[in-house]
Structure 1
Amino acid sequence: MPKVKTKSGAKKRFTLTGSGKVKRKHAYKSHILTKKSTKRKRNLTHAGLVSSADMNRVKQMLNI
């Protein structure tokens, strides 16, 4: 039986925490930043967690 490959896109976008949750970055922080307020950009800087509804799908992509 062949090895199961991890989805490369998911590998680059998500990281695991020590307790097994999945960390993610916020969207809308890459370009067209001049019209966004400083407060909005600052709040997008902090990492978030993947919601419980998507957790199984993301873990499946990461082969966990």
Structure 2
Amino acid sequence: MKLKSNSSMKKRIKVTGRGKLLHKKAGRSHLLTNKGAAPRKDLYGRRLSEKESTKIRNLIPYKAG
């Protein structure tokens, strides 16, 4: 039987070519002119730990490979 993927996780998680999981941090939609370049870069892709990745891979079985 085919599993159902969690739709909210499919939208929030990016899977890299090597299978690592990334997600965007909050606070990236507006008020970025007051922040420097380094804080803005830090807001983008945070790699998930192995413990978190294991839980999320169960929620998105076909995307996470």
Same fold, judged at TM 0.5 (above): yes
Paired letter, 1:25: K
Percentage identity across aligned positions?
30
Equivalent position of 1:16 in the other structure: 15
Q: TM-score, normalised by structure 2?
A: 0.68
**Cα shift readout 1:1-46 (whole Å, capped 9, x = no counterpart):** 3x21110000000111111111111123346x48x644534531x2
Paired positions, count: 61
Q: Unpaired segments of 5 or more residues in structure 1?
A: none
Task: Compare the two structures and name the one with the higher strand fraction.
Answer: 2
Q: TM-score, normalised by structure 1?
A: 0.69
1:43 maps to 2:42: yes
Q: Unpaired segments of 5 or more residues in structure 2?
A: none
Give the root-mean-square deviation of aligned CA atoms. Answer: 2.3
Aligned partners of 1:43 and 1:60: how far apart in 2? 27
